[in-house]
Structures are given as C-alpha cells and as structure tokens.
Amino acid sequence: MSDPWLTSLMTETPQAGYELAIKLSRMGVKYTQPSDEIRGKLRPVYEKDADSLIASSHVVAVNFQTVSVANNYWRS
C-alpha cells in the first residue's frame, strides 16, 4: 500500500493504543483482501458469528501487546 497509514506506535492513552491495535488487526485483513466490496460482504456474516468475534478480539489482544510495550504501558 502506498498510502501511509502507520507512522508511529505511540499513543496518548491506553484507549487510543487499544484502538490502534484494532486498526492494525483490520489492516492485516485488508492487505490480504484489498477489495472494500468483498470485505463489506463478509462483514455481516462474521459480525454475527460468536467464534469469529472471539477470534477478532484475539488478534486485537496480540496487537495490543505490541502497542502497549511500545508505549511503556502508559506508566506515568
């Protein structure tokens, strides 16, 4: 992808870090399936599948580990 979408792992707050982890997780899907149309068709399916939702949360958790270390856990 030529557009810049990830210039830093630093965030102001843990919540912004969690939301960056969600973005990272979605980009992992987008790199494999770049078509907005196809991803749009898949969304209503996995959004109503408990196991898909748990699996999505799992990916976010892994990315949140990365973002959390990068930010030194937002320790004050």
Residue 64 sits in the site that holds its own copies (CB under 8 A): yes
Phi, psi values for residue 75, rounded to 5°: -70, 135
Min dist CB 37 to its own copies, Å, is 11
Q: Is 12 a residue that touches its own copies (CB under 8 A)?
A: no
Q: Which two tokens stand for residue 66?
A: 């990365």
52 CA to centre of own chain? 14
Q: Which of 12, 32, 36, 37 binds its own copies (CB under 8 A)?
A: 32
Residue 51 C-beta: closest distance to its own copies, Å? 6
Asked if 37 is part of the footprint of its own copies (rule: CB under 8 A), the reply reads no
8 A C-beta contact, residue 60 and residue 22: yes
